[in-house]
Amino acid sequence: ETGVTQSPTHLIKTRGQQVTLRCSSQSGHNTVSWYQQALGQGPQFIFQYYREEENGRGNFPPRFSGLQFPNYSSELNVNALELDDSALYLCASSLRLLADTDTQYFGPGTRLTVL
């Protein structure tokens, strides 16, 4: 069984640029969530996708957007990068069942540095 994978591992961008991060969910999982983890902090929820539709969003501006594809892989796009966007971006996949007992499994993350 393949786990959650993310690409790229590391990325360096300059302020104002745009970035796309990718995530392949664990086999059989239909839900993907994205989190931002600033240095020394816990992860903060950005948004979640379920069956290709956004299905919940945290306190992040609209320049953070995403997609989920038919194979349940996902992208996180960030426009107009700011210095404070420097963080580890984590993708988590899960299988949503009727009962809310699904567990989220995390990928290794993408380390984004904005200069």
Which residues would be at the binding site for other proteins (CB under 8 A)?
4, 6, 31, 33, 35, 40-45, 48, 50, 55-56, 58, 88, 90, 92, 96-97, 100-109
The least distance separating other proteins from the CB of residue 16, rounded to whole angstroms, comes to 28
Nearer to other proteins, 18 or 86 (CB): 86
Nearer to other proteins, 31 or 74 (CB): 31
106: left (phi over 0), alpha (psi -120 to 50) or beta: beta
Distance CA 91, CA 25 (A): 8
Residue in 86, 112, 89, 79 with CA at minimum distance from that of residue 12: 112
User: Hunting for tokens 């210095």 — which residue is that?
Assistant: 83
Nearer to other proteins, 44 or 73 (CB): 44
